Amino acid sequence: MKTDKSKRGAGGKLKNGTFKEYFKDGALSCAGKNRDGEKVGVWKYYLRNGLLKAIGKYANGKLTDKWKWYRENGKLMQTGSFDEKERKSGVWKRYRPNGAPYDEGEFSCGKKVGEWRVYGADGKVIKAILHRP
């Protein structure tokens, strides 16, 4: 998804306040707030079908805290968090198209650590992989 990454609006001033971007057909593509040209707070991204694609927080223009991503069928695709340097951190979970869990584990400084579990279609653990820091 292509989004406007410029920090300045049409008049050349830094973007401040509520921001919305639209697909060519006029449907909402994303919405959130800017402060001094940087994305801040909760941002929502949408699929062309109008359903939510992703929701999460920005701080000073960087991905931070918890995020959720969704599929075109509305089911959860993955969840995870980012640290202050925009690296994956904490527990991340991915889901199959039907919503059943696919895998889960932890990130630290953007790298997989500890035990990661992979689930079969029946929801039972089929594999556990140990990642060393």
Q: Where are the domains of the chain?
A: 11-62, 75-133
The dihedral sign for the CA sequence 10, 16, 18, 21: positive
Query: What is the rounded average pLDDT for all residues in the chain?
Result: 93
Q: How far is Cα of residue 9 from the mean position of the Cα atoms in its chain?
A: 24
Residue pair 99/83 in contact (Cβ under 8 Å)? The answer is no
Place of tokens 């062309």: 48
| Tens digit of pLDDT at every position of the chain (133 positions) | 456 778 887 788 888 999 999 999 999 999 999 999 999 999 999 999 999 999 999 999 999 999 999 999 999 999 999 999 999 999 999 999 999 999 999 999 999 999 999 999 998 999 999 998 7
Torsion of CA 37, 39, 40, 43, to 10 degrees: 150
User: Was domain 75-133 assigned CATH 2.20.110.10?
Assistant: yes
Which residues are paired to 108 by β-bridges?
111
- At 133, list the tokens: 């820091």
Q: What are the angstrom distances between the C-alpha of 98 and each of 5, 19, 62, 126? A: 33, 33, 31, 18
Question: CA nearest 27: which of 56, 49, 52, 5?
Answer: 49
